[in-house]
């Protein structure tokens, strides 16, 4: 039987392992030493040495960093001449307090059995504040803490130090120190669990303008949020933004053929017969009766900027094709229909259907919407999206655009391939020209109004939606850019964010990079530690803050707590219109 065969083999192996050694040929008694003398994990940011108890034959290691314990490779030393099973360097799973057995066989054949356990036991400083002065900014990286305080505050300060549970800090929290030079603080885990961890705290005095950042959040259309449903909701939300030390909101101005204000421009260019038909907030209650006016008023009282975000831009509809029957703009302007290279309605991915952004009439309509909101409301900026200026790469085959191309090319038809380099560039040039038109139109109304954009990441944005935003920056037509660096883990986020930042830095010396961070979409909510790492990565990259999608997620307690932790003080909104 198989079990008998396997049992015999096992017994033979154990006998082989346990057999006592005779004296060697020189007559020296074999050593009976069978101790584990060293048990270390290399490659950790801390001392990875274990506590070895040779009386109870246990090995304990408490790591002061949060790492996976599923595949650790200990480097183990034993008594001279002894043999170890499993061998040093063998990968082991130490997760869930699992006891891993090690056998040490002495030269004499005597065996000692050890059980090793590993726990992650983080001893960390999570926040530092001072009783005498406000901390303007705080960054924690590699056990080094940099605190920025207002110039002239002095360095004789009493720190309040927040630490993780089950450890103590020395010098103690609440003891006044002279921070003229960096000070070392040592965290010691209680009950001997783990090794001490040293932090260095440095205090730097800065002028207020050095603490500039844009900390923004998007407010989408009413189908995704109830923030602008009534006055009380707006008031509560602005209080929350202020509580979180944020200083800007990007309000959806245009989507789904509707606007955030009663628009006569929309009525004049659509089949609507009254402004109420295209006005999201016609049922708004409380305050002045005007949702946008109330939001701007409440935000400005707390020094929060309001930028109008033209979310849909040149896009007509998501999910289904617009027609002259179902679309209020196309009913009035059938000439704004766009066509792709196969004769269908121009779209991206079979879901995002676009009007014809190459059409001068449609461009003028969008500029008039911008004029209208700037005339009627005291807004601080206009923001394009990944749909303005933009067009699907396969677009441009409608009669209007074909005729426009032929007039510029001695009657020549556009290439059949939408990826033809010259044809691609010709269409991108039209969209780039609109970016300049938009900038000039905004500045003609208000030189202090910020011209911003929230495109997709480059070069994807150019290859798929013909958004050449590095050129907009280079030509001076964008003053704040928030590429949608939406990723689901910190390594992907860092790569995407740094890549986008490089395109910005290649085209301007000004700090206008305000990366977009995805907090929530559908059933997805960002993990608190990922959010914390994202904000820290942005600080280390010296971005101009960050922008969050979207407002509803700020009300989630764990997300709110991380932002409170990372934004320890107010930031000054920079003067982005200053050249």
pLDDT tens per residue, range 518-548: 999 999 999 999 999 999 999 999 999 999 9
**Residue 45 DSSP label:** S
457: pLDDT confidence band, cut at 50, 70 and 90? very high
Q: Which residue carries 């004769």 as its tokens?
A: 343
pLDDT by residue (tens digit) across 52-94?
Answer: 999 999 998 877 655 667 788 899 999 999 999 999 999 998 8
Q: How deeply is 288 buried, as exposed, middle or buried, from its count of CB atoms within 10 A (0-12, 13-18, 19+)?
A: exposed
pLDDT tens digits along 157-176: 999 999 987 789 999 999 99
Nearest to 135 by CA among 571, 577, 563, 576: 571
- Can you say whether residue 351 is alpha, beta or left, with left for phi > 0 and alpha for psi between -120 and 50 degrees? alpha
Q: How far apart are CA 64 and CA 48, in angstroms?
A: 9
pLDDT at residue 8 is higher than 60: no
Phi, psi of 127 (to 5 degrees): -165, 145
- Collect all residues with Cβ–Cβ distance below 8 Å to 579 and sequence separation of at least 6: none
**353 closest CA partner among 362, 361, 344:** 344
Is residue 182 predicted with pLDDT exceeding 60?
yes
CA gap 563, 246 in Å, rounded: 9
Q: Are the CB atoms for 201 and 127 separated by under 8 Å?
A: no
| Cβ count near 192 (within 10 Å) | 10
Average pLDDT of 283-287? 96
- Cα separations in angstroms, 101 against 53, 57, 85, 335: 14, 10, 9, 77
Catalogue all structural domains in the chain, each as residue range(s) with its CATH number: 2-120 (2.60.40.2340), 125-210 (2.60.40.2340), 212-314+362-390+397-566 (3.20.20.80)
């Amino acid at each position: 039987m198989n079990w008998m065969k396997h049992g015999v083999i096992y017994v033979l192996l154990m006998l082989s392992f346990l057999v006592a050694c005779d004296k060697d040929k020189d007559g020296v008694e074999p050593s009976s030493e069978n101790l584990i003398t060293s048990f270390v994990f290399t490659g950790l940011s801390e001392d990875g040495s274990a506590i070895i108890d040779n009386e109870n034959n246990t090995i304990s290691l408490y790591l002061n960093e949060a790492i996976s314990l599923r595949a650790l490779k200990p480097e183990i030393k034993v008594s001279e001449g002894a043999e170890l099973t499993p061998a040093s360097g063998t990968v082991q799973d130490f997760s869930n307090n699992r006891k891993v057995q090690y056998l040490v066989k002495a030269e004499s054949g005597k065996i000692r059995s050890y059980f090793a356990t590993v726990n992650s036991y983080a001893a960390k400083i999570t926040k530092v504040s001072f009783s005498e002065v406000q901390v303007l900014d705080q960054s924690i990286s590699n056990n080094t803490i940099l605190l920025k305080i207002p110039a002239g505050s002095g360095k004789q300060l009493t720190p309040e130090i927040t630490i993780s549970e089950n450890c103590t800090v020395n010098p103690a929290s609440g003891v006044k120190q002279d921070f003229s030079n960096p000070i070392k603080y040592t965290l010691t885990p209680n009950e001997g669990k783990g090794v001490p961890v040293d932090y260095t705290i440095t205090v730097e005095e800065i002028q207020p303008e050095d603490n500039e950042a844009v900390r923004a959040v998007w407010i989408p259309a009413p189908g995704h949020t109830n923030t602008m449903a009534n006055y009380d909701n707006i008031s509560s939300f602005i209080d929350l933004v202020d509580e979180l030390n944020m200083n800007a909101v990007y309000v959806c101005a245009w989507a789904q053929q509707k606007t955030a204000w009663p628009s006569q421009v929309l009525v004049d260019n659509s089949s609507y017969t009254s402004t109420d038909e295209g006005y999201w907030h016609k049922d708004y209650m409380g305050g002045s009766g005007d949702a946008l006016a109330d939001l701007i008023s409440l935000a400005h009282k707390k020094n929060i900027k309001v930028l109008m975000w033209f979310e849909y831009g040149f896009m007509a509809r998501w999910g289904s094709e617009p027609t002259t029957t179902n679309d209020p703009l196309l009913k009035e302007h059938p000439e704004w229909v766009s066509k792709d290279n196969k004769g269908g309605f121009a779209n991206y991915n079979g879901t995002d259907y676009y009007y014809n952004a190459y059409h001068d009439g449609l461009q003028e309509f969008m500029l008039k919407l911008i004029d209208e909101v700037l005339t009627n409301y005291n807004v601080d900026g206009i923001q394009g999206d990944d749909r303005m200026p933009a067009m699907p790469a396969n677009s441009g085959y409608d009669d209007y655009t074909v005729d426009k191309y032929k007039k510029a090319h001695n009657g020549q038809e556009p290439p059949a391939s939408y990826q033809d380099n010259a044809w691609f560039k010709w269409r991108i040039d039209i969209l780039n020209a609109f970016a300049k038109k938009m900038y000039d139109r905004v500045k003609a109304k208000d030189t202090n109004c910020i011209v911003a954009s929230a495109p997709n990441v480059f070069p994807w944005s150019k290859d798929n939606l013909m958004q050449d935003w590095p050129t907009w920056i280079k030509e001076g037509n964008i003053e704040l850019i928030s590429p949608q660096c939406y990723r689901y883990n910190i390594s992907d986020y860092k790569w995407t964010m740094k890549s986008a930042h490089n395109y910005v830095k290649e085209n301007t010396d000004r700090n206008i990079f305000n990366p977009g961070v995805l907090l929530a979409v559908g059933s997805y909510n960002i993990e608190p530690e990922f959010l914390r790492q994202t904000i820290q990565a942005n600080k280390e990259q010296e971005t101009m803050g960050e922008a969050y999608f979207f407002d509803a997620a700020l009300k989630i307690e764990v997300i709110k707590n991380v932002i409170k932790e990372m934004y320890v003080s107010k930031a000054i909104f920079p003067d982005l219109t200053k050249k």
